[in-house]
Amino acid sequence: GHIVTNFHVIEGASRFKVTLADKSTRQATVVGTAPDRDLAVLKLEGSTTDLKKITVGSSDDLMVGQKVLAIGNPFGLSNTVTVGVISSLHRSLNSEGSIYKDLIQTDASINPGNSGGPLLNILGKVIGINTAIYSHAQGIGFAIPIDRVKKISSAIMKYGSVPPVWFGI
């Protein structure tokens, strides 16, 4: 019943309604957020026994040229799938005053409305969360690698946020 999405998708909202693939809707609550990492975790209300869990892959072995699929709702066009390749790895992006590091760059079409949706490998496993586009060009999209998403979302589910790092020096 947990949903991982981008923080910028839920930012400023106080109520959350999630539409599922079968067109049914569920209310959701925020478990926690990591605004500086542009991630948030929601929890669906009600029974979740009927939901299908998406298979999560790994992002530590990705290769430039690897085929990927981006799923989302660009411009309100629901259940859209686009195909592309990984164009680069470990990219940094300055977006609206925030700097995001270590992103997956893809030429799979990512537009407003794709944010928070999965970036999949050809086996249908989630390898990233679609998060941004380079607005001065076409065909340059970015996703947060799933291995980082897993670490951050685990911390959010445990603590409600990502605890700050402290070295004790």
Residues acting as catalytic residues: 8, 38, 115
**Ordered DSSP codes for 90-157:** EEEEEETTEEEEEEEEE-S---TT-TT-EEEETTS-EEEEEEEE-TTSSS-EEEEEHHHHHHHHHHHH
Tell me the three state secondary structure of residue 28: strand
- Residue 119, classified by CB atoms within 10 Å of its CB into exposed (0-12), middle (13-18) or buried (19+), is buried
- Both tokens of residue 55? 């298979």
Q: Are 54 and 42 in contact (CB under 8 A)?
A: no
Pairing of strands 118-121, 2-5: unpaired
Shortest CA distance to 14 belongs to which of 32, 30, 31, 36? 30
Q: Are 42 and 17 in contact (CB under 8 A)?
A: no
